[in-house]
Amino acid sequence: GAGVSQTPSNKVTEKGKYVELRCDPISGHTALYWYRQSLGQGPEFLIYFQGTGAADDSGLPNDRFFAVRPEGSVSTLKIQRTERGDSAVYLCASSLQGSGTEAFFGQGTRLTVV
């Protein structure tokens, strides 16, 4: 595609529910990143994929958060038993191969847990 696409743009869910956030990277980009941006803060790293594998998942805050990229393209961030503190903008980025190449960001998914 022309750019990184994230769906949905906005998501409201009830506390305790399960949510999935989708990221469709730029075609041919092997590196994919998820970040979380809380109100008034800069983005915080969650996880980095190189191809299908998670090369660095050190930013995932706890075991309620999980991400997959089964075919090395589209990625899904999954949050179980959502909490109000999970409310944030979730940003996805992709780059051609990581390692010095520019990362292009999507417009994010704003998650609100009520």
Partner 1 sequence: AQTVTQSQPEMSVQEAETVTLSCTYDTSESDYYLFWYKQPPSRQMILVIRQEAYKQQNATENRFSVNFQKAAKSFSLKISDSQLGDAAMYFCAYRTPQGGSEKLVFGKGTKLTVNP
Residue 84 CB, shortest distance to partner 1, in Å, is 21
**Adjacent-strand bridge partners of 93:** 33, 105
Helix (H) or strand (E) holding 53: strand 53-56
> What is the three-class DSSP state of 9?
coil
Q: Which residues in the 31-60 window bind partner 1 by CB under 8 A?
A: 31, 33, 35, 40-45, 48, 50, 55-56, 58-59
DSSP 113: E
- Select the span of 18-26, 28-36, 61-69, 73-81 touching partner 1 (CB under 8 A): 28-36
Q: Does 107 bind partner 1 (CB under 8 A)?
A: yes
- Select the span of 17-25, 64-72, 78-86, 101-109 touching partner 1 (CB under 8 A): 101-109
- Select the span of 15-23, 67-75, 80-88, 98-106 touching partner 1 (CB under 8 A): 98-106
**Adjacent-strand bridge partners of 40:** none
Cα separation of 110 and 78, whole Å? 14
Cα separation of 76 and 22, whole Å? 5
Question: Contact at 8 Å (CB) between 30 and 51?
Answer: yes
User: Which residues sit at the interface with partner 1, rule CB under 8 A?
Assistant: 31, 33, 35, 40-45, 48, 50, 55-56, 58-59, 89, 91, 93, 95, 98-100, 102-103, 105-108, 110
